[in-house]
Amino acid sequence: MAPPATRSAVVVGGNRIPFARAGGPYAHASNQDMLTVTLDGLVARFGLTGERIGEVAAGAVLKHSRDFNLTREAVLGSRLSPHTPAYDVQQACGTGLEAAILVAGKIALGQIDSGIAGGADTASDAPIAVNEGLRRALLDASHARSTVDKLKALAGLRPGQVVPETPRNAEPRTGLSMGEHQARTAAEWQIGREEQDALTVASHHHLAAAYDRGFFDDLVTPYLGLTRDQNLRPDTSLEKLARLKPVFGKDLGDAATMTAGNSTPLSDGASAVLLASENWAAEHSLPALARFVDAETAAVDYVHGAEGLLMAPAYAVPRLLARQGLSLQDFDYYEIHEAFASTVLTTLAAWQSEQFCRERLGLDAPLGSIDRDKLNVNGSSLAVGHPFAATGARIVATLAKELHDQPGETGRGLISICAAGGQGVVAILEAVK
């Protein structure tokens, strides 16, 4: 049997709620609340009330066990047709972009004509688990047949075991937080404090300018009194950021450079992006902003392999470029997720390093540098905030709109997102004019 013919998947548009800082205005909103209103905002924007969409793929990283079917529940609570199937995706910070890749792939194969990718995360409404000892005792008690056995199962409990466990932002295999991992990578690559702070200032200024010129008017829907991202500091400056003390890698002494300013804050929020075949968009009189061209994921061995936790995009991008026959310089826009300012800078440094590109990527020559004026032109996670699973769809929708808006016949953008577990998800979009 011949492989199925493929067609283009296009980005129609997106919607998100403003991202809030943890403990802020969304402190009592759940992932399901946020994802539902985000879907409803998308429905309102594109006239999808009662519409059966091919599928909705979304997820959350910090997720309650009761939310096992989070995305489907959000669909059922939304104004989409209840006949719209949905499933949850989880690839840490890569969740939203991975969901978009899944949806775009099905559209390209002709399996669906339309789909929504998205994600939600709340650091405020995070699950709290019972202590492992208590959990085991409760399960044993529920499995016990007699009352005596039930009591026996519970009798072994010690007072310390009833203390709940709060989630930690740490890698299970290393016990180190993402910030501690990245602090080591940044020190290894000798990424300076000042260039991190400069990238942070640019992120805030770009985001503020984009809001001021109305760029987000058809990308963001206010929620719970918030109309702009809460973390945005339009008046931040190198001087202000310079006053902050390092919070990660403090054991590195003078090499500690990562502060609360040049790291993303814990955030709450949700986002969604509508993808479709060109026919479906035309039939619904909806725009096609950009083609979802191709994508790649990579993973690195950060446990034993002497590679940084957040370095996987540095591996994914060259593979994607090779497949597409492109160079790193063949792009009009670069969206490199700002988990930390130093993540962006180490990734760029790696692509410029002759040694890294030869030894780690097996390339004859380094990928080279990029025009920094094309990087995160509408701000990114340092200013917007980073509700883990919500970042991917935010970036896809933002880049697609920027590509469509820019003058010129063509336009191409690269998305690069690092994720926990040593993973990286990257993709290419091209303007549809």
Residue pair 246/260 in contact (Cβ under 8 Å)? The answer is no
Rule CB under 8 A: say whether 33 interacts with other proteins.
yes
For the chain, give the longest Cα–Cα distance: 78
The residue among 40 and 88 lying less far from other proteins, judged by its C-beta, is: 40
Residue 72 CA, distance from chain mean position? 20
Indicate if 93 belongs to the active site: yes
Rule CB under 8 A: say whether 47 interacts with other proteins.
no
Least distance from C-beta 34 to other proteins, angstroms?
Answer: 8
Q: Which stretch binds other proteins (CB under 8 A): 126-134, 168-176, 216-224, 354-362?
A: 216-224
Least distance from C-beta 207 to other proteins, angstroms?
Answer: 23
The residue among 272 and 344 lying less far from other proteins, judged by its C-beta, is: 272
Q: Give the footprint of other proteins on residues 69-88 (CB under 8 A).
A: 76-79
Least distance from C-beta 78 to other proteins, angstroms?
Answer: 6
Torsion sign, CA atoms 300, 342, 389, 169: positive
Tokens 């499995």 correspond to: 143
Residue pair 295/287 in contact (Cβ under 8 Å)? The answer is no
The residue among 77 and 105 lying less far from other proteins, judged by its C-beta, is: 77
> Two tokens at 426?
């990257």
Residue pair 142/159 in contact (Cβ under 8 Å)? The answer is no
Residue 276's DSSP bridge partners are: 10, 114
By CB under 8 A, name the one of 4, 222, 234, 305 that touches other proteins: 222
Q: How far is CA 408 from CA 399, 411, 412, in A?
A: 15, 7, 11
Burial class of residue 402 in the structure, from the number of CB atoms within 10 Å of its CB (0-12 exposed, 13-18 middle, 19+ buried): buried
Instruction: Select which of 181, 206, 404, 418 is catalytic.
Output: 418
- State how far the Cα of 179 lies from the Cα of 345, in Å rounded to an integer: 15
DSSP 3-state percent helix, strand, coil across the chain (nearest 5): 40, 20, 40
> Two tokens at 118?
């998205």
The residue among 86 and 336 lying less far from other proteins, judged by its C-beta, is: 86
Indicate if 357 belongs to the active site: no
Instruction: Select which of 181, 204, 206, 386 is catalytic.
Output: 386
Q: Which stretch binds other proteins (CB under 8 A): 28-36, 61-69, 150-158, 295-303?
A: 28-36
Rule CB under 8 A: say whether 224 interacts with other proteins.
yes
Rule CB under 8 A: say whether 32 interacts with other proteins.
yes
Q: Which stretch binds other proteins (CB under 8 A): 30-38, 149-157, 204-212, 268-276?
A: 30-38
Positions annotated as catalytic residues are 93, 386, 418
Which residues of the shown chain bind other proteins in the complex (CB under 8 A)?
Answer: 25, 28-30, 32-33, 36-37, 50, 76-79, 222-225
